Amino acid sequence: MAEEYDYEKLRQVGKVSYEALQYAKGLVKPGAKLLDVCEKAEEFIRGKGMVPAFPVNLSINESAAHYTAAINDTLQFTANDLVKVDLGARLDDALGDCAVTVDLSGKHAKLVEAAERTLEAALSRVKAGAELNSIGREVEKQAIESGFQPIRNLGGHAIEREELHASIFIPNFDNGDTTKLEEGQVVAIETFITTGEGFVVDGDTLQIFQKTGDANPRAEEARKISAEIDRSYATYPFALRWIAKSFPSEFGIRRALNELNSLSVLQSFPTLVERSKGMVAQAEKEVIVEKGGCAVVTK
């Protein structure tokens, strides 16, 4: 059976997530700083009485996911950028997740349209009893017919209370997984389409982390930073720049995070880059699985 949810709270989170996504989308313009867009979008969510479910992701061109602004980040959008905006709100244990692609160049309209089309095609397959590979098969079919490739090692996921990426992986191709969706289940349908080969690898940038357990670091600074993470973010993802608001030394923060990593209580999320440097477009909605279809909550 699917996990029980407070669906009303989930819909509230979905509404704020969608509003924040539209707000952030409007901020993505040539010359705008990524740091400003991240922080303004996160503050928008806080202004609605919620907190970010994870740091706002602004991944550009061949970068598919997990880029969030660094401390004092000076990077600006350019007129040649293809930008993935991925964010979500959190209220208590209810989590939102949605994404859209912004083409500042005007050169990638077909790719962006393909991402949106594959998302809608995938959503049309979502219902109780649907096999996961049947959803992926539809995404792959639509992507290839549009002249692109799905990214095969990225996809959608179940969303459970307190856990954003939970239990099941919803592929963007037919991976043979015949696991069936259940009525009442909450899932993120997330399509990634590329002009490249269709696989992502870890990039060089690492700004997002998640503490996964208790630890007792030896270094005093690491103990303080660990306590701050527990107090402010618990086991939810956080950005390095969030910690820097209380601990201004980036070197000290990274040293503390390295110690937590050595204690096996820290998960890292490096940027994910298309292996052949192909352009990437993303589209994502969070839905509730129903008997005959699904209900979108990020709207």
Tens of pLDDT, residue by residue over 163-211, are: 888 889 999 999 999 999 999 999 999 999 999 999 999 999 999 999 9
Question: Is residue 97 flagged as an active site residue?
Answer: yes
- In angstroms, rounded to a whole number, what is the distance separating the alpha carbons of residues 192 and 140? 10
> What mean pLDDT comes out for the span 105-115?
97
Q: Which of 62, 259, 284, 286 is catalytic?
A: 284
> What mean pLDDT comes out for the span 118-134?
98
How much of the chain exceeds pLDDT 70, in percent?
Answer: 99
Beta bridge partners of 270: 206
State the pLDDT confidence band at 4, using cuts at 50, 70 and 90.
confident
Q: Is 201 helix (H, G, I), strand (E, B) or coil?
A: strand
CA angle, corner 94, sides to 229 and 25, nearest 5? 85
Question: Is residue 165 flagged as an active site residue?
Answer: yes
H helix runs in the chain, sequence order:
7-27, 34-47, 109-125, 132-145, 220-232, 240-243, 250-262
Question: Is residue 86 flagged as an active site residue?
Answer: yes
Strands 163-170 and 200-211: unpaired
> What mean pLDDT comes out for the span 117-141?
97
Q: Which of 86, 103, 140, 274 is catalytic?
A: 86
Tens of pLDDT, residue by residue over 247-290, are: 989 999 999 999 999 999 999 999 999 999 999 999 999 999 99
Residue 2 confidence (pLDDT): 57
pLDDT exceeds 90 at position 5: no
- In angstroms, rounded to a whole number, what is the distance separating the alpha carbons of residues 103 and 80? 8
Backbone angles phi, psi at 272, to 5 degrees: -110, 125
CA torsion sign, 192 to 194 to 199 to 204? negative
Domains defined for the chain, CATH in brackets = 7-202+277-296 (3.90.230.10), 203-271 (1.10.10.10)
Q: Which of 157, 228, 274, 286 is catalytic?
A: 157
Q: Which of 42, 97, 103, 138 is catalytic?
A: 97
Question: Is residue 108 flagged as an active site residue?
Answer: no
State the pLDDT confidence band at 120, using cuts at 50, 70 and 90.
very high
Q: Which of 190, 228, 259, 286 is catalytic?
A: 190
What's 24-36 look like in SS3?
HHHHCCCCCEHHH
Question: Is residue 202 flagged as an active site residue?
Answer: no
Residue 119 confidence (pLDDT): 98
Tens of pLDDT, residue by residue over 51-108, are: 999 999 999 999 999 999 999 999 999 999 999 999 999 999 999 999 999 999 999 9
pTM for the full predicted model: 0.95
Question: Is residue 177 flagged as an active site residue?
Answer: no
Q: Which of 6, 165, 174, 183 is catalytic?
A: 165
| Residue pair 272/199 in contact by the 8 Å Cβ criterion | no
